[in-house]
Structure 1
Amino acid sequence: MKCKHPTIIQGGMGIAVSNWNLAKTVSMTGQLGVISGTAINSVLVRRLQDGDLEGHVRRAMRAFPSQTIANRILETYFIEGGRQKNQTYKRSPLYSLESPLALQQLTVVACFVEVWLAKEGHDGVVGLNLLEKVQLPNLACLYGAMLADVDYVIMGAGIPREIPGALDLLSENKTASLKISVVGASEESLTYFHPHQVMEETELKPLKRPFFFPIVSSAVLAANLKKKSTGRVDGFIVEGPLAGGHNAPPRGPMKLTDQGEPIYGERDVVSLEDMKALELPFWMAGYYATPEKMAEVQSLGAHGIQVGTLFAFCDESGVALEHRERAIADILKKQAPDGSWIFTDPRSSPTGFPFKAAKLDWTVSQETLYAQRKRICDLGYLRHAYQKEDGSVGQRCPAEPVKDYVRKGGLEEDTVGRKCLCNALMADIGMGQIQAGGIAELPLLTAGDDLNNVARMLKPGKKSYGAKDVINYLQSPLAVTVKINDDNKFPSRPHNDRGEQNAEIF
């Protein structure tokens, strides 16, 4: 008997935009709520330092299988009543190929807490979203989520061929490993996760193996993952160049529009017929967040859609309230410039992937201020590994201080235009670091062009909306029939006839 998967998947928007509260609300409607595992250890320690005023984090930590581990984390990071607003957050350690035991335990607990809270008090399904580009925390994140009985794992920003096999091993509490990309290395490097070592004296029981949905940008990649992954692949999320956050680069040489955005062509188009031929369920992501488009892709073989931006600005979203309110106010007061609120920046992300940024009035002013920011890399999630002259492995980030990056063997031209997404995205959720001199990190809001459709979520006289309003909208009766195109392919045009797109937040 085949599993009855939800038709709507709430996008895994990080850092903590897709928080436990949003995922829980979506899950309780019968759809798939998804929490973001990106930087989840930093999210946990900052919530604890902000006092965990409603007690949710500590309630979940009391359910963790090892109270010895949970209590050590509380003793290290929890501040009764919360830190002073101008007080610097105590940072979590940075990951390495051999991350310290305390960091692995912190990551396991953090992911457990987020999933446990999302699943608390109902029987709906909950997913975990991770990025292949952020490799080093992933095994610990997976294990923590599985301890909390996560139902789905979704992973993009790379080719997660090894994750299915890791899920199989972790479900049996066996040691799992991942290959780590190391620039300049002639031999592959591995990072390991040892459940029995990390959990110390805790008695471990077999865990449920969650469904695994990789995010793909082509049917060829989907076929490759189905055939060559280290374990079972259960379905796919199909993202094309219209999806938000991090996009796959165009196939072939990078060419830009007059506005400086990447140009995607026929090679970047995904055929729904080819996806259907793989005989696994798939969900379309980007440009599909209307009931008409969802019905159309379902008629062509898709199981449903993944939606991000409409959820990113709802009441339950992790985006800080002040940012959501200002974004909605900007959207309501005027039309989108040039038909879109979004700029696809080919340079800003240290990953090298194109990355979408919002072009609202206040975010443009933030960009001006950001240009004056002193470079610092103190979170390190988007660093990449490289081999040093002595054969050891180091890490560097194109958004770190330029002299540091060049000293580590990086090219200066790779640093041009790069932004510290780690710190900016923490600021998006109201947890920006206070750096030296009392300078607060600035937000850098990112979303998809479905910002143009946010106003549709608002009831007359209202300036906010809930996650249930999004679900109700997507499941509302169809007004018209929308054709994707004659070839049943992923749309290749950057805008439709009203200058609108759909995409997800990173």
Structure 2
Amino acid sequence: MAALLTETLPADPDAAHRARPAVIQGGMGVAVSGWRLAREVSRTGHLGVVSGTAMDAVIARRLQDGDPGGHYRRALAHFPGRAMAQRVVDTYFVEGGRDPDTPYKPLPKLMMHTAQAGQELAVVGNFAEVWLAKEGHDGVVGVNCLEKIQLATPTAILGAMLGGVDYVLMGAGIPREVPQLLRSLAAGEVGRIPVDVAGGTLQRFVQVDPRDLLGADLPELTRPDFLAIVSLDQLASYMNRDAEIRPDGFVVERPPAGGHSAPPRGRLQLDDNGEPVYGARDEADLDKMAAIGLPFWMAGAYGTPDQVAAAVRAGAVGVQVGTLFALCCDSGITDASREQVLDRLRAGDLTVRNDPRASPTGFPFKVVTLEDTVSQAEVYEDRTRLCDLSYLRQPFERANGTIGYRCAGEPVHMYVKKGGTVEDTEGRKCLCNGLTATIGIGQHRKDGYDEPALVTLGEDLEGAKELIRRHPQGWSATDALAYLVEQLPVPTPRPTVGSEVAAPATT
């Protein structure tokens, strides 16, 4: 594939010159977009993105499984705080891997003031994922975080920056505080963001102090470019008006995109399948997006060559695509789950439901209907409700002013005792345990119960149907890239200078 031309993003004059890729590989949750996938995409000149969600669980469990290939220990050998990295290895690494009947160790939970061991685990986990994605090439790598998981954001981004991440992408909320967080961390200062506390009477923050964690081992950090994931041009315009919160660009994500999506504007209406109904008010005005003047990429049903070309004609730099990469052989999805999905795809009966109740966050969440997964009512009902990974817990203020934590996916009586309602628990699924099971690190319980998987994809399957026609046994990340850009013009190589606009990447 041809090398990608580069240009300068205009929002921060001190930012490094970085590539503007035609294709951004989606940052799919809990290491579906792991380092292997991101590296394959980035080395072609496009933007490979690792998930910044639950990387503490990923590295801890991979180490307990013996660190196959030695990849995470190889990455940690390059971590600037060698003592911190060694503590993580000493705590979690099991030579030869744990006995399959042995549960994974519990992890420190995210809190307003997460224990130091938990902060260290998150920092080294995100460092390792980015470092491995960048190993062996000079392409750009991004990390994707969810605004809804605020308690994890400062440590996740610090770890990614220590790994040399080039882009930070964030959606599932209004990530207005991220630009300042990046500036603070790049300066070696305390990075903090406000936290949404249910019933809160005071503004509260979660923070990370890089000097306190790393001391003299703290290297000079470079501020990555920030792409805010938005659903509407109004939000993009709002963020662009203020230099303090202005991102370096946007990903405009339409409702069909996989994972979480913004709820419809106005009163929630459901169709005959119980899925949210979206309308014209839920679509961004692309002319207004182009008028903002910052680069933007389109996402959500942009997984075919004609859709990529249409996005570029509308003024976008390119597209962000998830589903085609989630299903490729380089993603973190287990072979068994991937083959089950591909079998359904080959048979023409693969279905993705936009479940308005699945996520404890209250955001609609796309769930693939598959046997032996949480998508099936009997599997969901058979699972004992519990919240042990706790990434989606909501902080709330107790009557005495202290902070508690609750999750609509935890046992109903516990949620109600903490001030929640029974109605909010109905249909809620444990995304944390389901998504970790999807990548092969699901928890094995002491009673012998194995956490079932939960697979998410986008609703638009046209690109996937064409790829399975072309590649009946499955496809790679490079196969997906070659397909996506086949209607884009081949760029003419030229020097990269100033803010000169570059042609889209192609193969």
Structure 2-normalised TM-score? 0.91
Deviations 1:12-56 (A, max 9, x none): 001110000000000011100000010110001000000002000
Say whether the 8 Å CA contact 2:375–2:454 is kept in structure 1: no
Tell me the distance in 2 between the aligned counterparts of 1:452 and 1:78.
Answer: 42
Q: CA deviation at 1:240?
A: 1.8
Q: Secondary structure at the match of 1:298?
A: helix
Please give the secondary structure, in 2, of the residue aligned with 1:395: strand
Residue 400 and residue 269 in structure 1: after superposition, are their counterparts in 2 closer, same or farther (change >3 A)? same
SS at match of 2:465: helix
* Partner Cα separation in structure 2 for residue 346 and residue 430 of structure 1: 26
Residues 1:227 and 2:241 aligned together = yes
Q: 1:274-306, CA deviations, whole angstroms, 9 ceiling, x for partnerless residues?
A: 100100000000111111111112111111000
1:186 aligns with 2:233: no
- Mind listing any 5+ residue stretches in structure 2 that lack a counterpart? 1-6, 10-18, 490-507
CA contact (8 A) 2:367 2:375 kept: no
Tell me if 1:472 matches 2:486: no
Change (3 A) 1:152 1:81: same
Secondary structure in structure 2 of the residue aligned to 1:89: coil
1:432 & 1:452 partners in 2: Cα distance? 30
1:391 paired to 2:401 = yes
| Maintained 8 Å contact 1:163/1:230 | no
- Which of 134, 138, 149 aligns to 1:119? It is 134
8 Å CA contact retained: 2:154, 2:208: yes
Alignment partner, residue 239 of structure 1: 253
| Corresponding position of 1:377 | 387
% identical aligned pairs: 48
Structure 1 letter corresponding to 2:390: G
C-alpha spacing 1:450/1:241, structure 2 compared with 1 (3 Å) = closer
The reply to whether residue 250 of structure 1 matches residue 264 of structure 2 is: yes
1:276 and 2:290 correspond = yes
Does residue 350 of structure 2 align to residue 345 of structure 1?
A: no
Mark the CA change 1:203 to 1:361 in structure 2 (over 3 Å): closer, same or farther: closer
Q: What corresponds to 1:423 in structure 2?
A: 433
Conserved in 1, the CA contact under 8 Å of 2:155 and 2:208?
Answer: yes
2:347 counterpart residue number:
333
For the pair 1:215 / 2:235, whether they are aligned, the reply is no
For the 8 Å contact 1:290–1:474, the answer to whether it is kept is yes
Give, in whole Å, the separation in 2 of the partners of 1:365 and 1:151.
35
Q: Is the 8 A contact 1:168 1:231 kept in 2?
A: no
TM-score by length of 1: 0.91
Residue 436 of structure 1 aligns with which residue?
Answer: 446
8 Å CA contact retained: 2:197, 2:396: yes
Match in the other structure for 1:38:
53
2:22 is aligned with 1:7: yes
Give yes or no for contact 1:161–1:229 (8 Å, CA) kept in 2.
no
Of residues 398, 402, 405, the one that matches 2:412 is 402
Q: Please give the secondary structure, in 2, of the residue aligned with 1:183.
A: coil
Asked whether the 8 Å contact 2:254–2:301 carries over to 1, the reply is no
Distance 1:89 1:361, change over 3 A: closer
Q: Secondary structure at the match of 1:136?
A: helix
Instruction: Please name the residue that 2:328 is paired with.
Output: 314
Paired residues, what number? 474
Shift of 1:452: 4.6
Q: Which residue, 58, 78, 82 being the options, matches 2:97?
A: 82
Alpha-carbon distance, 1:229 to partner: 6.3
The runs of 5 or more residues in structure 1 that have no matched partner are 480-506
Deviation at 1:86, TM superposition (A): 1.7
Q: 1:165, 1:232 within 8 Å by CA — same for their partners in 2? A: no
Aligned to 1:305: 319
